[in-house]
Structure formats: C-alpha cells, structure tokens
Structure 1
Amino acid sequence: MGFRWYGEGNDTVSLDQIRQIPGVDTVVWSLHHKAAGEAWDQAEIDEQVARITGLSDDARARGVTRRLDAEVVESVNVHESIKLGRTVLGRSRDEAIENYRTTIRRLGRAGVKVVCYNFMPVFDWLRTDLWHPLPDGSTALFYEQAVVERMTPESLIAEMEAGAGGLTLPGWEPERLASFAELRAAYEGVTHEDMYAAYRYFLEAVIPVCEEHDVKLGVHPDDPPFDIFGWPRVVSTKADLARVLDLHPSPYHGLTLCLGSFSANPGHDAVDAVRTFMDRIHFTHVRNIKHFGNGDFTEVGHRACEGDVDTTGIMRAYAEAGYTGYVRPDHGRHLWDENTTNRPRPGYGLYDRALGAQYLLGAWDAFRYAGPPGA
C-alpha cells in the first residue's frame, strides 16, 4: 500500500503523518520541480529517497522506528516532443527520450521499482471544480460536462491555477502552460494513429533501459477517458489499454491502472479491466466516483456504496489473483479542517486518503484470507 507525497515544503501532509497510517509502506513520490524532458540528477534522487526512507533525529528521539520505502515514482512526465514525434518547446524527441532513459537508469540505481507516467496530449487530468461541496459537508473534485463544452483551454488553465491555492498541480505545470499557444498549434491535425506511432517509438527506446535497471513502466489511463478539446487521447478504453500493451511485449511495459480515471466513462467495467490486465498491472490507483447521467461526475469516499465504482470488487479481484504490485488510495475528499485552515492540494488531503487506505486494506484482508469463492 502506497501514499502519494509531493515533497517537503510542497505538501500539507508530512512523512510523520504517512508513517502513522496502518499498512502504508510505500511513499509514492516525484521530483516535482523537474520539467518534462529534463534528466533527473542522481544527487537529487538519492537525497529524496534518503529523506523518505530515513528517520529524522527528532523522530528517533520520540521512539519512532517504522520506516517507509520509496519504490514508486509518480510521475516522470513525458515531454510533448515525444508524443508528437518532432521538436517542440525547444527540445527534440530524441533528446527528450535520452533524458528519460538517463532518469530511468538513475532511479533504478536508487532502488525505484515502478515509474508511473501518462501519454495525454497537452493537459493531464481535468476537472471543472476542485472544491465541489458534497452532501456530508466535505468537498471533492467535480467534472461538469457542460462547463467543459463552453470553456476554452485558456479559461480552463486560469480556473485551475486559481483553484490550486498556491500549490503545484501535476500535469498543469506553469512552464508547460506558458507555452500553450505553441502546443495548441503543434497538435493541429495530429491523429490517434500518429500518437500510437510516437508511443511505439518511445517504448522501443526506453524499455530496454527499464529491463537493464529493473524499473517497470506503468502508463496511467487518460483522465477523463475521452478526447478533450479535439486532442487525441490513446489510453482511454479497454481496447486502448490492450493496444497500448501490444505496442511492446516486455513485462516491464505495463499499466498504472487508475480505476477512477478509467471509470469516468460509465460504460467501463473496472473489475473486468483488473481481471483482464492483471499480469501487466504494475501499480494501481483505487478510488470512487459518482455519475449523474449527463456526463457529470464527482469524486466520493472510497467505500463502494458511496459511488458507482465497485471498489470492493476491485480489491477482491486483486486479492484472489495474489496481486504483488503496488496500490494507493487515489483522490480523496477534503475533510474537517482541510476545507478551512489547512487546505491541501486538491484531492490530496490526509484524512480521506488515510480512510481510503484502511477501507481498501480491509477488503484485501477479507478476500485474501477467505480464499477463492467456494473455498
């Protein structure tokens, strides 16, 4: 079980707090100040790993002995030149790929086992309200289809920046958004087939390095799983996931199967996806959403009955298969003082993700030790 952490000085949640969540062993981290296409420095990687896996003098003085590992990175972002297959934003595809290969080598030396990434053009995840009120008084991320249909990309960028509360939003990095006009022009006329071809080129260059340094790559599904503003998304449907996996046969090429992102399309069956792709799922995010029938959806608590994602069935599928990869609770509601005095990064507060971890672990334990159906 993992827990995403954005780093010292960049997160309202501390490592001390994560260490106190029962069952959480892995800190899911990144070097968030690194721009897409830039090689990560070995010294910075080692420093962050040491910070996560070590104990401060203060913690030792308080009798703390429990340690965390740093085996999962989310994310090493893919430069737009790689997705487009040509030079953009001042960097060529091959230069960006070589920097990615260098980063994988250095992460492998530091003991990292899985790297999450995505292949979404221009924008990463998208919501229209970062603090949408729920009936219980909490707030959560919300997607309203009609708002997206009437918004321009430029107005959406402004909304996201305003709602971030001064914290960085992965996938909405300022240096990338500052060059939005260039990116928008670069993607004109780009097709899904163009994206798949560029994706194959990337994998053929990077996967051999992953195999050499024992680092698995897990691609994150598109969020939400359909085209946005006419830009082609290629990791949206079950058929897309199968096609992406067919781009390279190596077991080091796999999925970060985010069941919340995948389930944002109400026609998708999350449990079926888990059972279908089990042997290629290196990392998984489990969260719940509720659909409203008009394209809108909101994120809710992790308990299955709170929304439309069968989180219990998902954990049953993992338990019955003896899954040995990594899992984390995903976007949580903002609870209690997080809506007032200690506002976190949207979706990444402490309390609801900690509650989610316990719910997921409880389901895992119940099914793992009960044995298969009928046993």
Structure 2
Amino acid sequence: MRMTMRWFGPADPVPLWKLRQVPNLTGIVGALHDVPTGEAWTRAGVAGLRQTVERHGLALSVIESVPVHEDIKLGNARRDGRIAAWIASLEAVAAEGIGVVCYNFMPVFDWTRTDLASVRADGSTALVYRHADVTGDGGDGPTVLPGWAEAYTPAALTALRAAYTDLSADGLRANLAYFLRAVVPVAARLGVHLAIHPDDPPWPVLGLPRVVSTADDLDFVLRAAPDAHNGLTFCTGSLGARADNDLPALARRFAPHIHFVHARNVLRHGQRDFDEAAHVSDQGSIELARTVMILARVGSDVPIRPDHGRMIWGETGRPGYGLHDRALEAMYLQGLLDAVTLEKESHA
C-alpha cells in the first residue's frame, strides 16, 4: 500500500512542506474545497491543486471528496442535472491523471461527532460520539452539533431534514443505485476508481437513514453497478464503530474491491458510543494491526492514509487533522506494511 495524507488546501494549518518530511509519505489526498456542492469542477482547478502538491515533491493520489449533492440522495427532479455536474467533475479529475475518487452517500451530514476535543487521560484530545447527546432518532434533535455550524444555519438544517421526512432506507438505497448506474460507466471509461466511504457513524442519526454501514450494504453497492471501477473506501474507524462489523473478515471478503484505505482506531462504549483512540491496536476496540496486515497481504497496491488523530503535544488546529499524531500513525502503519513485506520475502 502507498502512504498518503489528507490535506485541506492552502488554509490547512499543516503545510505541505511538513507532510513531505514524514518518511515514505508520497501522496496527498485533496479536493477543491472552494467549489460549492453541486457545481462542476474545472480541469484548471484540479490542475492547480495537482501542481501545488507536486511543487512540494508529492503526488496528488486521491480526490476526497467530490461531494454528492442532496438532490441526488433525495432523488428529486433536480438530480439528473446534479449527476451531470458530478460527472463533469469526474472528467476534470481524470484529465489530470488522478485515479481514485472517494465520496460518500450520507444524508445531510458526512460525519457526526458530539465533541471535537474530549480530553483523554493522557492530556491529549480526541473526537468522540455519544448517542444520547444526539436526541433520539426521529425526535427533534439538536439544530447544531460540533462540526456542523459552518455547514448549515439552523433554518437550513431544519428545512433539509424536513425534505428527508418521507425517504426510507430503501428509498435512499434506490437513489444510490440510480447514481451508481449513471456514474460508474463513465468512471470505467475514464479509468477512475470510485471508492464509496462508509457511514460515519454507521447507523441512522437524527432519523436520517444510512445505507453504507454493514457488509450487506457494501454488497449492495457492488451489485448495483458491477464493475472493477465501482469499489470501496475501507475505513476501519467508521466500520469499526459497530461491534457486529468484523473488520478482519470484511477485509478478506472485500479486498478485491477496496481502492482506498482509511486507518484509525476507535474505543467503543456500548452499542452506539465511541472515542477515537490512539492508533496502536490495544488502545481501542478494533483489530487495527491485523486488519491492515490482511489488506497488505491480500489486497492490491492501493493508497492508505492515517485517518483522524488525537491532538497531542499541545498542537492546535483542525480537529482530528493535526500533524503529530497522524505522523505517528503513519509510522505505525509503515511498520505493519514492512512486516508484511518481510513475511512475503521469507516465503518467496
């Protein structure tokens, strides 16, 4: 697997020159964050991002993400126009030689946490989720939670949630299939691998359905548009938040369809509460080392990135995306990958 790191553009508190100094980090995962959701990206915009990354001795390896507009998820009369714009963005990405696009199909929120800086016993801070803090699914719920305030005003959030009132999980799944049947043939023609990201967290939130949370859901995605270019982002943290998701088994089962890997650890508390934990396997509830090593043994040569990290050593910045803990994770992952390489050599 090829080591990469998420970068949020020139405003990111972690500059590219610092990422360049992480050993064996060769790729950047980026996006055009200034383009409103639903509008088509231009080749010039993608080229500018690629050139900025390359000036620092790195490669733009993955686009994360080309956002999927709510009209597509809702399946309303505007969705075909939104899909056309999404395809135009895909064409711009392909024209600049970028071969992997990560995206998600989560209604309204592409992630949910209830605290972005929960203080841990060691003094570090981390993202956490407490289901009780999200007033019961189907209830009124809060209008703002950490991480949402910049994306929605309370009025806009209320209106958007109301639009989903009559959309069931089956309806959202049908809209996902419609989207995949439209975009996968284009991706195949362009040679771009699509990698859907699992729901985060992998269960309904605020009464909104989520349909990329379990093994059966992943099977549905792959069956909806069977093609080698229709694949998965294997996020150990998102999938691992559910105790009934057996990560090593999922890694073996879906390895041929995994185009991108997000690696992080979570510590579960009951069924629907979790903390984002330090990356070493015994710090959390998931078999992170075993899972990564399985992917390295049986999967293809895909990009992997350290996912959200803690804020450690007094670092401040974008929650989950400081440099220090992600660099530690990159080295932990590199050790696992080196171990698999040596294992393969010893059996050659």
Query: Is 1:305 aligned to 2:282, yes or no?
Result: yes
Query: Is 1:352 aligned to 2:339, yes or no?
Result: no
State the distance in 2 between where 1:187 and 1:320 align: 42
1:250-296 Cα shifts (integer Å, max 9, x gaps)? 11110011110001112211111111100000001010011122632
State the distance in 2 between where 1:212 and 1:112 align: 14
Equivalence for 1:221? 198
Equivalence for 1:155? 142
Query: Is 1:70 aligned to 2:60, yes or no?
Result: yes
- Give the structure-2-normalised TM-score: 0.94
Equivalence for 2:35? 34
Equivalence for 1:210? 187
4+ aligned runs moved over 6 Å, structure 1: 151-154, 372-375
Counterpart code for 2:324: Y
CA 1:186/1:7 → structure 2, altered by over 3 Å: closer, same or farther?
A: same
CA contact (8 A) 2:136 2:206 kept: no
Counterpart code for 1:248: A
Equivalence for 1:267? 244
Tell me the matched-pair count: 345
Identity of aligned residues (%): 41
CA contact (8 A) 1:145 1:294 kept: no
State the distance in 1 between where 2:330 and 2:238 align: 18
CA contact (8 A) 2:4 2:61 kept: no
Counterpart code for 1:348: Y
Equivalence for 1:195? 172
Query: Is 1:296 aligned to 2:273, yes or no?
Result: yes
What is the CA RMSD across the aligned residues, in angstroms?
1.9
State the distance in 1 between where 2:240 and 2:114 align: 17
Counterpart code for 2:65: S
State the distance in 1 between where 2:65 and 2:296 align: 26
| TM superposition shift of 1:154 | 6.6
Counterpart code for 1:334: M
State the distance in 2 between where 1:203 and 1:227 align: 22
Equivalence for 1:23? 24
Q: How does 1:93-108 map to 2 (within 5 A)?
A: 93-108=79-94
Counterpart code for 1:232: P
- Give the structure-1-normalised TM-score: 0.88
Query: Is 1:366 aligned to 2:343, yes or no?
Result: no
Equivalence for 1:86? 76
Query: Is 1:145 aligned to 2:127, yes or no?
Result: no
- Aligned to 1:17, what secondary structure does the other structure show? helix
| TM superposition shift of 1:181 | 2.7
CA 1:72/1:131 → structure 2, altered by over 3 Å: closer, same or farther?
A: same
Equivalence for 1:64? none
- Aligned to 1:266, what secondary structure does the other structure show? coil
CA contact (8 A) 2:242 2:271 kept: no
| TM superposition shift of 1:116 | 0.5
Counterpart code for 1:38: E
Equivalence for 1:328? 305
Equivalence for 2:114? 128
CA contact (8 A) 2:134 2:141 kept: no
- Aligned to 2:232, what secondary structure does the other structure show? strand
State the distance in 1 between where 2:346 and 2:308 align: 31
CA contact (8 A) 2:143 2:158 kept: no
Counterpart code for 1:30: A
CA contact (8 A) 1:245 1:254 kept: yes
Q: How does 1:226-305 map to 2 (within 5 A)?
A: 226-293=203-270, 295-305=272-282
State the distance in 2 between where 1:243 and 1:314 align: 22
- Aligned to 1:157, what secondary structure does the other structure show? coil
CA contact (8 A) 2:101 2:193 kept: yes
Equivalence for 2:9? 7
CA contact (8 A) 2:241 2:266 kept: yes
CA 1:230/1:142 → structure 2, altered by over 3 Å: closer, same or farther?
A: same
